[in-house]
Structure 1
Amino acid sequence: MASASSTFQTPQSGPLTTRTDEELAPGDIAVGVVIGRASEYFDFFVFGIAAVLVFPHVFFPFVDTLTGTLYAFLVFALAFLVRPIGTLIGMEIQRRFGRSAKLTAALFLLGCSTVGMGLLPSYADAGNTAIVLLALCRVGQGLALGGSWDGLPSLLALNAPPHQRGWYAMLGQLGAPLGFFVASGVFLYVYSSLNAKDFLSWGWRFPFFTAFAINVVALFARLRLVVTHEYEKRMEEHELDPAHLHELLPAQGHHIVIGAFAALASYALFHLVTVFPLSWVNLFAEDRGVADFMKMELLGAAFAAAAMPMSGLIADKIGRRSFLGALAVAIGVFALFAPFMLGGGKPGQGAFILVGFVLLGLSYGQAAGSVTSNFLPHFRYTGAALTADMAWLLGAAFAPVVVLYLSSRFGLGSVSVYLLSGVLCTLVALRINKKLRAAAVVQD
């Protein structure tokens, strides 16, 4: 945290000013946001990668590999289905016991659920019980992720210097490529170091065990902020406390729907450049090994991480909503060429990954909270959390299973259709949001 007296330079004032213990610097908040989000994405991507490489053989050996992968993707979607429930449970825990208790419980559940997957028996050992336990652990992950909402992204945006909101909004999203990079790197190391028998027997469990240590580090990084007087003071100033659902929905529930659809193009793209292409290559590509493709995805994650700061700089110049609209159009153009790239052998698949990850970095960097400023202050904490939950559910939860199923039956053109549907939803939602804001200005 900040020392009793330190200096920093603001973009607005130019000269050095003094910061006391009563203030919470955006940089301090950003550290907690990035570390916390990276740990959560690590847990989720470990599951996503295992759903392609491991679970069809370990938990669904009674069907062919394609069907087993589809079953694993259905289990994958469970976390997003229960995430809003986890958010509401977490809000209630916060009301009764405080933010730190809620965050500790959520990350403990997340770590235990992920580690628990690494301890599960296989279908050969426990039959359907193994599948049920896998599903329960996945539900635990979803509940934990919903409950881990700490308000730091909202606080970061509200404390960001004027004309730099896009930059600071991007920092919270930076955890996604970082979490994917670490998860893919760990899996790639284990996958490349072992033969197929050892990997499917015990090697795949190692990344799940790693998650607990990462979550402990993330917990302390976030508690370092959450338990401070400065954090509580800022949260109270901005009225960032849980709101009751029966008050939020009638008053401003439409902003949750608009916010979720406004980000849909980016969220639809999310799993279609991370989880789905790995499954497609693993099942159908003949000229590229899984290990080589995972290396390409690691490079793609680095590209996404590099693109996110660019998204902040551009969004601060042209506006976040205009930037999201332009990126939605770019994703639409990408969607038209996606089938040719994925079906174009190594060069095409490489282009799909690199271009897709750059677009993901640019769009996802500004996707969260793009319209949450519409919420009244006392609704913003809960509204922002539920908006993100709905965006994940509508755009990303079923993307891998739907697109893999359709592509296996009707071809890779299904990728285009899915992405274009997300683009259309984003453009319509942004248009509606613009009209609502204009109407609000006229009324004022």
Structure 2
Amino acid sequence: MTAPHQASPAGATRKLPPGALKAYIASLTGTSLEYYDFAIYSVASALVFPKIFFPNSDEFVGLLLSFSTFAVGYLARPIGGIVFGRLGDRIGRKNVLVITLLLIGIATVLIGALPDYSVLGVAAPTILVLLRLAQGIGVGGEWGGAVLLSSEFGTASKRGFWSSAAQIGPPAGNLMANGVLAVLAATLSNADFLAWGWRVAFLASAVLVVFGLLIRLKLEETPVFKAIKAHGEAPKAPLREVFTKEPRALVSAALSRICPDVLYSLFTVFMAVYATRELGMTTGNVLGAILIGSAFQLALIPAAGALTDRFNRRLVYGIAAVGTAVYIPLFFLMVQGRSVLLLTVGVVIGLAFHAFMYGPQASYITEQFPARLRYAGSSLAYTLAGVVGGAIAPLVFTALYAATGNWYVIAAYLLVSSLVTIVGLAIGRDPHTDEEERLLQDARA
């Protein structure tokens, strides 16, 4: 069996695989645009929607209802993973990625144009949930394809780096989203921001989606998928094969995602509530801290992915999970002094821990499955984990804090999440590049 992380022969010339750079940029750009859409919803669900779509509710009840619509996007992801994961292993990566981009973009623009509760009454939050459902289905099918797009054009032994392209999307999209919202919040009065300002960020995604669509339409199918089709190895029932032949891989990949998801929700969603309501900071303070943390992630995520190409991937991932459990109590102690500087530093460090799990996450999840089942298996693991990770995290944070009034239970929640991820890593496998290298050599022959 070929050893994991094979080294190139001494003195060998390292050439960039054909199409790899273009695919990396396309994967990064596409997920950045789509997570821009998703991120503006995340922020709006904490700061805007409770007031304009659930105005007649108690303060915490309105927040819980708003976070419920946020959770719908995660709950819908498995639908996207099932539908598009199957298509991705049967008809290829490119066509699926075009469909998911359009689905998310159209839904986001429509949210920006949706009249609020004062105009439509109960129909307004109902339509909001349906549009959020469409967003979630699109994202559920997007991630697996974006990861495979960059990694299958790249070198299998460097999958940690090549796969990180899709992982840069969330912080890049989050950076753009929070930047736009921060500018709007700073230049508009609270009344104007709530009345129409927040809509600008949603409507602006139309331009971004058109740009992303032009890039994806020019892409070719990945070399690995071409080789799979040429060999007649494309599965007829990829979902069934994943459940019947790869159950351990599915469990390992899904559990590995729990801690990164919960951690990200803490710093990019719940902190917007905690810092403004409990620490007395402004919305601009919180959004600024998230912006800076996301900017650092742009470099840390690909660096973390590349690091795991040199060192054991599961070890690096596991160390970051343990570090998360230790750090969260320290973070809450840091911010009790209500210092904006300490909040910013704390968010940057927290998102750095996230980067060292999220950077190698794509490569870790995809390499648990054989190439012919990789879109379906990866999409299922990623989206199913999202339901018990990121989907319920803001709800759990809010409910725990409302019930207890202290942050200890939140730190305990992160501890449990870290332990779950460590279990997933323990039962997973290290990468073996022989299959991928064979397929790529055949495709390029």
- Structure-2-length-normalised TM-score: 0.87
* Deviation sequence 1:135-156 (CA, Å, 0-9, x none): 0010010111123356342353
Partner residue, 1:194: 188
Q: Distance in 2 between matches of 1:159 and 1:359?
A: 28
User: What aligned pairs does 1:10-159 form with structure 2 within 5 A after superposition?
Assistant: 24-91=18-85, 100-149=94-143, 151-159=145-153
For the pair 1:423 / 2:429, whether they are aligned, the reply is no
Q: 1:300 and 2:293 equivalent?
A: yes
Structure 1: how far apart are the matches of 2:50 and 2:236? Answer: 40
Aligned ranges 1:367-386 → 2 under 5 Å: 367-386=361-380
Instruction: Give me the whole-angstrom Cα distance separating, in 2, the residues matched to 1:240 and 1:339.
Output: 50
Counterpart mapping for 1:218-237 below 5 A:
218-226=212-220, 233=226, 236=229
- Picking from 396, 399, 403, the partner of 1:405 is 399
1:311 aligns with 2:321: no
Q: 1:193 to 1:237 in 2, by over 3 A?
A: farther
> 2:273 aligns to what?
279
* Per-residue deviation, 1:15: 6.5
SS in structure 2 at match of 1:24: coil
Larger relative contact order (Cα-Cα within 8 Å, sequence gap ≥ 6) = 2
Distance 1:42 1:141 in 2: 12
2:109–2:206 CA contact under 8 A, matched in 1? yes
Deviation, structure 1 residue 80? 1.0
Partner of 2:320: 327
Match of 2:263 in 1: 269
Spell out, residue by residue over 1:371-414, the C-alpha distance to the aligned partner (whole angstroms, 9 max, x if none).
43232232222101111112322221111111122123211112
Q: CA 1:388–1:172 in structure 2 vs 1: closer, same or farther (change >3 Å)? A: same
Assess, with a 3 A threshold, how the Cα gap between structure 1 residues 106 and 154 changes in structure 2: closer, same or farther. closer
Q: Name the SS of the counterpart of 2:57 in structure 1.
A: coil
Q: TM-score, normalised by structure 1?
A: 0.87
- The structural deviation recorded for 1:16 is 5.9
Contact persistence 2:92–2:225 (CA under 8 A): no
Q: Root-mean-square deviation (CA), in Å?
A: 2.8
Letter paired with 1:370: Y
Task: Choose from 139, 154, 164 the match for 1:170.
Answer: 164
CA gap 1:312/1:178 in 2 versus in 1, 3 angstroms: same
1:197–1:337 distance in 2 versus 1, CA, 3 Å:
same
1:387 aligns with 2:363: no
Structural mapping, 1:177-256, within 5 Å: 177-226=171-220, 233=226, 236=229, 243-256=237-250
Aligned to 1:7: none
Q: CA deviation at 1:220?
A: 2.1
Pick from 337, 349, 367 the counterpart of residue 344 of structure 1: 337
Could you tell me which amino acid in structure 1 is paired with residue 58 of structure 2?
D
Secondary structure of the 2:427 match is helix
Question: Identity over the aligned pairs, expressed in percent?
Answer: 30
Give distance in 2, aligned partners of 1:243 and 1:223.
27
Which runs of no fewer than 5 residues in structure 1 stay unpaired?
A: 1-9, 438-444
When residues 91 and 128 of structure 1 are mapped into structure 2, their CA distance, relative to the original with a 3 A threshold, is same
What is the distance in 2 between the residues matched to 1:52 and 1:394?
20
* Structure 2, unaligned runs of 5 or more: 1-6, 433-445
